[in-house]
Amino acid sequence: MAKFDYSLDYARLDLRAHPELYRVGVGEQGVLLVQPYKSELLPHWRFRTPELARESSETLYRMFLAYLEAGDLVGADMARKFIQMGYTRSRRYANHRGGKKYDGPVPEEQKGRSGAHGRDELPRSPEDPEKAEAARIFKAKWDEARANPEYRRLQAEHKAKYG
């Protein structure tokens, strides 16, 4: 799988107009960078309570389906990434009160990228049942999105066409 290209000027780049520049990457890479999708999706991303997670995941999934219907793989993939991020952030807060998973600051060269980057994981708190339920809600939608045949078809098409 082609790596997500962090060298592009995402603040000025419209990936709807230039889908050829988009690389799916791994996991949530680029979720808070790629425009105009970040601006469209971020206002709907909430995970604080199971009720907010349910509403958020359903809204984001409807947007995912709308992007698919429009043949917009970049939009669908970004919606999938926001749903995935709902799961991962909910799990983080379920496991670590306050949401801080690693000790110390993120090294400057690693900002905006996923992973621990050599930092130690902080001890886990007792599981927060509300955040755990929010994570389960997002996980179900994430699984549904990843298994969607049209998403898989568009993703394969995009990869064959653009790398």
Inter-axis angle of helices 50-69 and 129-147, to 10 degrees? 10
* Cα separation, 142 vs 90, whole angstroms: 13
Q: How far apart are CA 145 and CA 40, in angstroms?
A: 18
The per-residue pLDDT for 15 is 96
**pLDDT confidence of residue 117:** 61
pTM (two decimals): 0.87
Report DSSP state, residue 99. S
E strands present in the chain: none
Tokens (6 digits) for 1: 């799988």
- Predicted pLDDT of residue 127: 77
Return the SS3 of 33: coil
Q: What's the confidence (pLDDT) of residue 143? A: 98
In the chain, which stretches have pLDDT less than 70? Answer: 1-2, 98, 100, 104, 106-118, 125
Query: 138 CB contacts (<8 Å, ≥6 apart)?
Result: 47, 53, 56, 57, 83, 84, 86, 87, 90
Q: Any idea where the domains of the chain sit in the sequence?
A: 35-99+126-162
Tell me the C-alpha distance between 91 and 103, whole Å. 17
> Within a 10 A sphere around the Cβ of 118, how many other Cβ atoms?
9
